[in-house]
Amino acid sequence: MQVGIGVPIAPFRDISYTSNHPSSENMHIDCLIVLGAEPSEQCQFGEYHIQGFDIGNQQLTFSEVGTGNQFKAFRINQTQPLLPNDGHWRTHDDPEIGSGLVIRTQNQYTVVVIYSYDEQGKPEWKIASGQFDENGSFIAELLKPFGGSSIQNDEPVSAQLHSDVQTIQIQLQGTELATISIDGSEPKVIQNFNFGVEVFSTDQYTVNDGSFNYPDQEGDWLMVSEDLQESRVVNLSYYDPNWYQSPPNPSYYGARSYQLQGSEPDFDFNCRKITRYQAYDNQWYDLLEIPYCTGRYFNRPVSKLTLGYFQDIGYKGFRVYAKEWFEGITYEGITRESSYYDFYRLD
């Protein structure tokens, strides 16, 4: 989006945002701000009169006047290297009330806040900022403040920084999974914690000898291609692959599978749970399954196979990698270097 600000001639001021992308060329938001003792704004998005802007660095939300219909705009960060999903992270061995991290990325720069305890069990917090490199590694100075005032103080006092500066290293294994090490300590596994949403476990992907958990993907999503040339709103609904075949396929037992609603879905996303199964002869068999979420995307005239990593699946967003599919189904050759589709949750 490009922004233009009109010359402020009291008591009005014009602000407009215009798209410069071919798919939405000349789409614009125009706002007329009325200045004065009680300033107000009147905005229009195409044919819609809009209000109630909620402006953030990563997302813009506004509503249509009279109907309450909501619009959302997402900042699309075109980057092949992994970046951690924003939110609350914690270690896998974290007790019920323990330590954690808050991670936030804006324009490739990441801020990490750690809340924990010192050796005497007293609460403390530390902060670091920097960038993840192309290998998903974050190395930065870890600063510890002291001597500041409480947040509710009406006369705040700036804190000081300890002279003993530590070094933090975070190594991403996905957008939802990483390891953390401080001053060369033994790395600990940390995972983004998805609040208030049902989670499902894997058997083929484990962390610390336990099944990896990932959140439910049902709902409305904005689906955007890597080159931004393709975008659409999709609704993913759960289905059981064994509904469509008899006898049931043992490799689908416990799977979480999603498809677009409709009689002829053109996108499916299948997260299998097991790599071994017990057949009717009571023998156990190993399944040669890729331990990722796989699927197909029918985008005529070209169809694509898709592969998603469990450790990339978040509640607010996830990414799948794709390659063109002509004959046969093989996921070989799909890596994090492949073209991809990003999904942003709308509801």
Structure tokens at 36: 């004065």
Helix or strand run (H / E) with residue 28:
strand 28-34
Concatenated DSSP letters for 136-184?
A: SEEEEEEB-EES---TT-SS----EE-S--EEEEEEESSSSEEEEEETT
Task: Supply φ then ψ for residue 243, to 5 degrees.
Answer: -65, -25
> Within 13 Å and on the Cβ side, how many CA atoms surround 190?
26
Q: What is the pLDDT of residue 13?
A: 65
Q: What is the pLDDT along the chain (347 residues), one digit of tens a residue?
A: 444 444 445 566 677 777 777 666 767 777 776 665 555 567 777 777 777 777 677 777 878 777 877 777 777 776 767 899 999 999 988 877 789 999 999 888 999 999 999 889 999 999 999 999 999 999 999 999 999 998 899 988 999 999 999 999 999 999 999 999 999 999 999 999 888 889 998 888 888 888 898 999 999 998 988 888 888 888 999 999 888 888 888 778 888 999 886 545 588 889 988 777 667 777 777 766 678 999 988 877 778 999 999 999 999 899 999 999 877 778 888 999 999 999 999 87
**Contact residues for 226 (Cβ-Cβ < 8 A; gap 6+):** 78, 339, 340, 341, 342
Q: What is the pLDDT of residue 2?
A: 45
Q: What is the pLDDT of residue 184?
A: 95
Distance CA(176)–CA(248), nearest Å, equals 32
Q: What is the pLDDT of residue 5?
A: 44
Structure tokens at 342: 């990003």
Residue 65, classified by CB atoms within 10 Å of its CB into exposed (0-12), middle (13-18) or buried (19+), is: middle
Residues 89 and 100: beta-carbon distance below 8 Å:
yes
Q: What is the pLDDT of residue 97?
A: 76
- 36: amino acid identity, one letter: G
- 269: amino acid identity, one letter: F
> DSSP state, 206?
E
Structure tokens at 122: 């007293």
Q: What is the pLDDT of residue 281?
A: 77
Residue 189, classified by CB atoms within 10 Å of its CB into exposed (0-12), middle (13-18) or buried (19+), is: middle
